[in-house]
């Protein structure tokens, strides 16, 4: 899959604003600052269509990117930013749940985890949630350029054990800086559509 034509098709604060044309969707989720905007920009070959934010936790909408008129990349709001009041977290949960619930078009979720750290409690909760909804998860382990290549397998193993991944579960080390993992990820996404 090569991506040339991308448009921000919808910015949704509520379900009635989601696209309704039944094209397949792949959604991206992870804690704030994990590198989600950078990953989406890397996949779509743009510098900054998906905002790379210095201000974590600002995105409070679900953004739908029309990819080649064939599918949508869905940018879900990030979680786990510091200093978020409880009401904000609750609103976040409701927003995500409304999207996940019964979204037939959703073919897979790309869940981003920083390769340097063990998954947080919120990451594990997210995994449990997605398993509950029976949604296929692709784990992308971000910022791999920040650790030595020789350390990658060790970090993958720690994360694999923490999420209790079975053998078929995909955990893909990735870097938006070096584009390592990009072609593999596009291949995996293509395979699910």
Ligand X SMILES: Nc1nc2c(ncn2[C@@H]2O[C@H](COP(=O)(O)OP(=O)(O)O)[C@@H](O)[C@H]2O)c(=O)[nH]1
Applying CB under 6 A, which residues contact ligand X?
30, 32-38, 52-53, 56, 78, 142-143, 145-146, 175-177
For ligand X, which is the closer residue by CB, 32 or 63? 32
- d(C-alpha 32, C-alpha 80), whole Å: 6
Angle at 107 between CA 140 and CA 81, to 5 degrees: 45
Quote the least distance from Cβ 148 to Mg ion, whole Å.
Answer: 27
For Mg ion, which is the closer residue by CB, 31 or 155? 31
For ligand X, which is the closer residue by CB, 58 or 154? 58
Quote the least distance from Cβ 36 to ligand X, whole Å.
Answer: 3
Please choose which of ligand X, Mg ion, none residue 119 contacts, taking the beta carbon within 5 to 8 angstroms, the exact cut-off set by kind: none
Quote the least distance from Cβ 138 to ligand X, whole Å.
Answer: 16
Quote the least distance from Cβ 52 to ligand X, whole Å.
Answer: 4
For Mg ion, which is the closer residue by CB, 43 or 156? 43
- d(C-alpha 56, C-alpha 1), whole Å: 30
Single out the residue of 178, 184, 189 nearest to residue 143, CA to CA.
178
User: And the tokens for 10?
Assistant: 């919808």
Contact 62, 99 (CB under 8 A): yes
From residue 20 to residue 59, the character string flagging contacts with Mg ion as x (rule: CB under 5 A) and all else as - is -----------------x---------------x------
User: And the tokens for 174?
Assistant: 């990735």
- d(C-alpha 45, C-alpha 39), whole Å: 10
Please choose which of ligand X, Mg ion, none residue 142 contacts, taking the beta carbon within 5 to 8 angstroms, the exact cut-off set by kind: ligand X
**Bridge partners, residue 8, by sequence:** 65
55 secondary structure, DSSP code: S
């Amino acid at each position: 899959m090569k991506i040339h034509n991308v448009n921000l098709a919808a910015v949704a604060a509520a379900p009635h604003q989601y696209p309704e044309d039944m094209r397949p969707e792949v959604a991206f989720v992870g804690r704030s600052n994990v590198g989600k905007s950078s990953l989406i920009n890397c996949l779509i070959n743009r510098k900054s269509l998906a905002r790379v934010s210095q201000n974590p936790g600002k995105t409070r909408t679900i953004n739908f990117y029309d990819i080649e008129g064939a599918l949508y990349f869905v940018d879900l709001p990030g979680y786990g930013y510091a200093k978020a009041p409880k009401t904000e977290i609750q609103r976040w949960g409701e927003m995500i749940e409304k999207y996940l619930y019964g979204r037939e078009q959703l073919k897979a979720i790309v869940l981003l985890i920083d390769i340097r750290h063990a998954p947080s409690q919120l990451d594990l909760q997210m995994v449990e949630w997605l398993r509950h909804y029976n949604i296929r998860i692709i784990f992308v382990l971000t910022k791999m350029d920040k650790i030595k290549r020789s350390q990658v397998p060790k970090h993958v193993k720690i994360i694999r054990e923490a999420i209790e991944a079975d053998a078929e579960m995909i955990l893909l080390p990735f870097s938006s800086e070096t584009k390592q993992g990009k072609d593999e990820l596009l291949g995996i996404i293509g395979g699910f559509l």
